[in-house]
Amino acid sequence: MVPRRRRHEPEPRPAPRPAAEAAAALERYLAFLRDVRRRSEHTLRNYRTDLTDFLAYAEEQGVPYVDAGRGLGRAYLGALRDARVAEASIKRRATTIRAFYGWLDADGVALGARPGDSILRLRYPKATRRLPRFLSTEEADRLVSAPDGGTAAGLRDRAMLELLYAAGLRVSELAGLDLADVDAVNRLVRVTGKGDRTRVCLFGGPARRALRAYLAEGRPELVRGAQPALFVNRAGGRLSVRSIQAVVRRSGTQAGILRRVHPHLLRHTFATHMLEGEADLRVVQHLLGHSSVDTTQIYTSVTHRQHASLIDAAMRRAREVEARRRRHDAG
């Protein structure tokens, strides 16, 4: 059965492996996603992991992959839940399985599930929606100020942090930026996001000052020869996603922030602070590169929660003042 896994990072089952025919179909599907749909390597790895696990489960149950039905899919998702796999991961796997079989059907593969048991109707269990975490304005200020502005690497790190926070970029988008993508005069950056979709993001004065300092004093000390990348490492090459994650984590520690700090936390912080400043939801959707406004909508729940907390605190203070007044009048 499905082994017990860490909640935040489920791993593929080591055995059994899918049958050769199922594995070949999976490779054709991944090639389609890579060459036609232009999915990222990260997405392809997730698809491979999820589908390999399901196809192995079908093999273990003695069901040929073309005969897998909704009942088998539900049993698999139930086994994942029993193994305490995170609900978001179960949701993703259900969607991935359904997409794979939809592609097989469109590609002319005869699916053999019983009538009424089509795996194309597989749906994921409703997941509990967790609100994004974010930094306070004071924490964000401490974070972007943490790197040493007296070194080339420190200037680079500060510029990266400012841009992550000011423009709400994904870490992969930041790593992929070239010099030609940044317009410091007009405070614009051209970003290539998911699905190779391009959008233009804005950033403010602090990010512009940090970028200009890095370009004038930091980058020339790091770069070697002709290098289009905006952010470079000590060897002069493009800074990797993993390196950027390490910079953000280290800066969080230096800033004395008592929680795990990662690039996506800054993206959450950008969206939350924008909406707290009464930015239009559709504008924030565009700046984040969300294909659906429903994805952006969750940040309004965060701001509503913040407002409710402020109201509750104000009410408590008012009640305390009223209680003191009554005691004074009674005395």
264 is catalytic: yes
Q: Which of 70, 93, 156, 267 is an active site residue? A: 267
Q: Which of 170, 208, 209, 214 is an active site residue? A: 170
299 is catalytic: yes
262 is catalytic: no
Query: Which are the contacts of 314, defined by CB distance < 8 A and separation ≥ 6?
Result: none
Choose among 291, 40, 289: nearest CA to 170. 289
170 is catalytic: yes
The whole-angstrom separation of Cα 39 and Cα 30 is 9
126 is catalytic: no
SS3 292: coil
Query: Which are the contacts of 100, defined by CB distance < 8 A and separation ≥ 6?
Result: 26, 29, 47, 51
Instruction: Quote the distance between the C-alpha of residue 233 and its chain's center.
Output: 24
Q: Which of 65, 165, 214, 299 is an active site residue? A: 299
267 is catalytic: yes
58 close to 74: Cβ distance less than 8 angstroms: no
Q: Which of 34, 74, 264, 286 is an active site residue? A: 264
Instruction: List, in sequence order, the alpha helices (H) in the chain.
Output: 20-35, 41-60, 70-82, 87-106, 137-145, 152-167, 171-175, 205-213, 219-222, 241-254, 263-276, 281-288, 293-330
The residue length of the chain stands at 331
Q: Which of 17, 34, 190, 194 is an active site residue? A: 194
- Please give the backbone phi and psi of residue 39, each rounded to the nearest 5 degrees, phi first: -75, 150
Choose among 172, 13, 24: nearest CA to 107. 24
- Give the catalytic positions in this structure: 170, 194, 264, 267, 290, 299
